[in-house]
Amino acid sequence: MRKTWLRDYIIKRLFYAVIIAWGILTITFVLVRVGPSSPADKYLSNLAARGEDPAQVTAAIEARYGLDKPIHEQYFNYIGNLVRGDWGWSFSTSMPVIELIKTHWIYSFQLILFSTILAALAGILIGIYSAVRQYSKTDYIATFFSFIGISIPNFWLGVMLILLFAVQLGLFKTYYDTSIPLFSLGNLKQLILPVVTLGTGMMAGYTRYTRSAMLDNLRKDFVRTARAKGLPETTVIGKHVFRNAVLPLVTIIMFDLGSIVFGGAYLTEIIFGIPGLGRISFNAIFADDYAVVVAVTLISAFLVLFINLATDIAYAYLDPRIRYD
């Protein structure tokens, strides 16, 4: 069917995206600027050792960070540069922010990718099964474990996994080893614990949502029709019911990608020492390296925006009834 309205919709959303981006930029900038801390703070002990006068050093550092200029000037330079696609220079790591992100995104990505895929696969399958077998023993077990899954604090889970499998049993390293090539079994192996850490919660969530979505649709009339057509049960469930249940699922999975992942992946990276965007931004925050903080915030925000948009578009194709204007 024709979806010309969809194009207008996308344009509208992109327009919003710009506004939102500006909002985020400004908020982040203000936060950085009103904050009392100075990039020179962390040098104090070093200065003391050298018997330096902190006032001079602080001045020098802040001058290089451009903090000596008036605040509005800083703000406009900063916006201007971003508009020109210049993400700025990261002082705490001495490389262009964009380069920094280019080198580190993959570490976050692989983690998120594997976790999401595995969580989605397992969660959906279990969910379907326990929905079809509602009130059966398996259903109760699945439900209970999904409860545990969503309730277990993932950072604690990570620590426990390290304690058990790395410290006690010594099956894994206690840290992520970047000298292992990305595309190798070794890397897959060392991703196991992080992926479990990040994936458990998501999987549990997906299980619950799939189950409920399936249950909602299993009771619908068209299921009876499908059966009356003589379709085998697998087709009835797998095609007719699931195809309808997928709609809410898409939203939830996408939403997870946007939000939960950025909390969870963040902690997971810190716990396992994975040099992904989470760890980078974490260190950047503590180093007052606002260029990086802003970039990461923006990226994740845009990711969320993009994902929402993608969801809406996917929806428009998955559910012929939907229509935005």
User: Among 106, 118, 192, 285, which residue interacts with another protein (rule: CB under 8 A)?
Assistant: 285
Which of 163, 171, 182, 310 is in the footprint of another protein by CB under 8 A? 163
Distance separating alpha carbons of residues 185 and 237, to the nearest angstrom: 36
The sign of the dihedral angle between the CA atoms of 210, 202, 14, 103 is negative
Q: Which of residues 181-200 bind another protein (CB under 8 A)?
A: none
CB of 69 to another protein, least distance (A): 13
Mask for 82-121, x = binds another protein (CB under 8 A): -------x-xxxxxx---x--xx-----------------
Rounded to the nearest whole angstrom, what is the least distance from the CB of residue 3 to another protein in the complex? 13
The CA-atom distances, in angstroms, between 227 and each of 11, 143, 211, 212, 243 are 42, 27, 21, 21, 15
> Hey, what amino acid is at 277?
L
90 φ/ψ angles, rounded to the nearest 5 degrees = -90, 110
Encoded tokens for 184: 């190798």
Cα–Cα distances (Å) from 184 to 16, 117, 188, 189, 196, in that order, read 41, 18, 7, 9, 19
Size of the site for another protein (CB under 8 A): 118
**Interface with another protein (CB under 8 A), residue from 120, 198, 271, 295:** 271
> Are residues 295 and 97 in contact, defined by beta-carbon separation less than 8 angstroms?
yes
Task: Tell me the window of 73-81, 111-119, 185-193, 236-244 that interacts with another protein (CB under 8 A).
Answer: 236-244
Looking at beta carbons only, is 122 or 282 nearer to another protein? 282
| Residue 54 makes contact with another protein by CB under 8 A | yes
State how far the Cα of 88 lies from the Cα of 74, in Å rounded to an integer: 12
- Binding residue for another protein (CB under 8 A) from 25, 111, 126, 305? 305
Name residues contacting another protein, limited to 3-42 (CB under 8 A).
16, 19-20, 23-24, 27-28, 31-32, 34-37, 40-42
